[in-house]
């Protein structure tokens, strides 16, 4: 039986993930769903935000739907999100940004770079080691090349090789592999690329970059489609896969029923595409687009619908569309 782990996490995770879970349960009542409770609230209660057994529970799932986790204000804190990505070796973070006239897939390396965790902090100096390995680079660029081929699109390599040696290393491996693969490609410095992506999104298709550049670029790129409430992501490794909004726990709006659940719903759509249900994935996206087109929107998009009301409208739209032709896209991850 297909097993799906559900992690609400913190903040608006408690609001947007139940909406996405309801949709998954509607489309796949036959899956087994189980909750894994990790996050800041667990740290407040027990002093431990994520136990080893929670990581082991996540490994039992065929796919994980994940909300977001608040960073606790503690010294030497190890991020739960980063721990899970590393423990499950989820090396490819795919962040699709799709709008009128553009369809961009940001492919972010997800296990090394500035997130190596190799760091120290003294009274007068703090350092973080930016680790870029050949194996880590080859596997992410292989993923990006596969996606560029499948989408018949150009591959853009984002880096800062004008300044950082580890990015000379990254860029050179990327250029060699892209040349050998015969895909159309170019490369750009990440700062210039960030602006150009906003000015000319139609010139981009697959964008591959290192961990932290990809983190920042994906928040920036969400501007193209209406903000963080809209952009989902897949964290994929060779064995495990986790799907989560690009946004965080948004403590500033948590508990008010105003968060936009679209990023979480789209993460559920990516999860279904991963599990092979492309039609279910398309049905979720079609329903989201219909509801938005009908004028039902959350506050971030200038509307008045609450998280629950928007979710209810999407569920109705999915039920209504049950036997009709699907109009929109499916997320292709492989």
Which residues lie below 8 Å from residue 259, measured CB to CB, with a gap of 6+? 12, 15, 16, 229, 250, 253, 298, 307
Q: Which residues are near ligand NAD by CB under 6 A?
A: 12, 16, 68-71, 81, 228-229, 244, 247-253, 259-260, 263, 300
> How many residues at the interface with Mn ion, by CB under 5 A?
1
> Taking CB within 5 to 8 Å according to partner kind, which of ligand IPM, ligand NAD, Mn ion, none is near residue 82?
ligand IPM
Q: Which residue is nearest to ligand NAD (CB)?
A: 248
Does residue 215 interact with Mn ion by CB under 5 A? Answer: yes
* Nearest distance in Å: CB 47, ligand IPM: 20
Angle at 315 between CA 229 and CA 225, to 5 degrees: 25
115 is catalytic: yes
> Interface with Mn ion by CB under 5 A: which range of 144-152, 181-189, 209-217, 233-241?
209-217
Cα-to-chain-centroid distance, residue 279: 20
* Nearest distance in Å: CB 219, Mn ion: 6
How long a stretch of residues is the chain? 334
- Of the candidates 40, 115, 204, 331, the residue annotated as catalytic is 115
164 or 212: CB nearest Mn ion: 212
Does residue 109 interact with Mn ion by CB under 5 A? Answer: no
Q: Which residue is nearest to Mn ion (CB)?
A: 215
240 is catalytic: no
- Of the candidates 215, 277, 290, 331, the residue annotated as catalytic is 215
* DSSP type of residue 201: G
228 or 273: CB nearest ligand NAD: 228
- Of the candidates 191, 202, 319, 334, the residue annotated as catalytic is 191
**C-alpha distances out from residue 39 to 17, 234, 241, 254, 308, Å:** 14, 19, 19, 15, 23
Q: Tokens at residue 122, please?
A: 């003294």
Burial of 318 (0-12, 13-18, 19+ CB in 10 A): buried
> Taking CB within 5 to 8 Å according to partner kind, which of Mn ion, ligand NAD, ligand IPM, none is near residue 70?
ligand NAD
Q: Tokens at residue 225, please?
A: 């489609």
Side-chain-facing half-sphere of 94: CA atoms under 13 Å? 32
149 is catalytic: no
Report phi then psi at 276, rounded to 5: 95, 0
The contact set with Mn ion (CB under 5 A) reads 215
Positions annotated as catalytic residues are 115, 160, 191, 215, 219
């Amino acid at each position: 039986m297909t097993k799906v782990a559900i992690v609400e996490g913190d903040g608006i995770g408690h609001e947007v993930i139940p909406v996405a879970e309801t949709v998954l349960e509607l489309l796949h009542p036959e899956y087994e769903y189980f909750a894994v409770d990790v996050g800041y609230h667990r740290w407040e209660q027990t002093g431990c935000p994520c136990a080893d057994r929670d990581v082991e529970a996540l490994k039992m799932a065929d796919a994980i739907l994940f909300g977001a986790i608040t960073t606790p204000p503690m010294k030497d804190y190890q991020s739960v999100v980063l721990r899970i990505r590393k423990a499950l070796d989820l090396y490819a973070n795919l962040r699709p940004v799709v709008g009128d006239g553009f369809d961009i897939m940001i492919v972010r390396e997800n296990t090394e770079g500035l997130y190596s965790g190799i760091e120290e902090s003294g009274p007068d100096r703090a350092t973080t080691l930016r680790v870029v390995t050949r194996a880590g680079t080859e596997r992410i660029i292989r993923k990006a090349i596969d996606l560029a081929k499948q989408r018949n699109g150009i591959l853009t390599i984002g880096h800062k090789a004008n300044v950082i040696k580890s990015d000379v290393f990254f860029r050179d491996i990327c250029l060699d592999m892209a040349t050998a693969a015969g895909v159309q490609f170019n490369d750009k410095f990440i700062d210039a690329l960030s602006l150009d992506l906003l000015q000319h999104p139609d010139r981009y298709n697959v964008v591959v970059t290192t961990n932290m550049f990809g983190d920042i670029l994906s928040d920036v790129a969400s501007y193209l489609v209406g903000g963080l409430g809209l952009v989902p992501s897949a964290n994929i490794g060779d064995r495990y896969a986790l799907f989560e909004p690009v946004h965080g726990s948004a403590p500033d709006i948590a508990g008010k029923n105003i968060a936009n659940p679209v990023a979480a719903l789209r993460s559920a759509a990516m999860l279904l595409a991963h599990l092979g249900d492309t039609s279910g994935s398309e049905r979720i996206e079609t329903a989201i687009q219909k509801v938005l087109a009908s004028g039902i929107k959350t506050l971030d998009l200038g509307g008045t619908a609450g998280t629950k009301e928007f979710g209810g409208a999407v569920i109705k739209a999915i039920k209504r569309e049950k036997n009709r032709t699907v109009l929109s896209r499916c997320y292709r991850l492989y």
